[in-house]
């Protein structure tokens, strides 16, 4: 009998992609929000600063995973 817990424990390429996306978004968003509020200013300035920093940090998380070789599925879509 297969349960939800069994399915969650089965690694596959899409599972790794989703995990990486969640981590990159979470880390990027948290750092971006902190920097945006720390810089301060008008609401638009805070929003744009948050967006730019979140994109840069999120991209850095993805890039570091690719460089470390943890994300082979980006190179080979079949996961082989």
Per-residue pLDDT of 53-70, as tens digits, reads: 999 998 888 888 777 766
Give buried/exposed letters for 19-31 (b at 16+ CB in 10 A, else e): ebeeebeeebbeb
State residue 52's pLDDT score: 92
Tokens of 32: 């971006």
Q: Which residue has tokens 């879509």?
A: 77
| Position 1 pLDDT exceeds 60 | no
């Amino acid at each position: 009998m297969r349960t939800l817990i069994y399915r969650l424990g089965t690694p596959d390429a899409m599972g790794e992609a989703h995990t990486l996306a969640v981590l990159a978004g979470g880390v990027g968003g948290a750092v971006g929000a902190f920097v945006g509020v720390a810089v301060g200013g008008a609401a638009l300035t805070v929003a744009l600063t948050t967006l730019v920093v979140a994109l840069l940090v999120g991209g850095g998380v993805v890039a570091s995973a690719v460089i470390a070789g943890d994300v082979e599925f980006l190179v080979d879509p079949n996961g082989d």
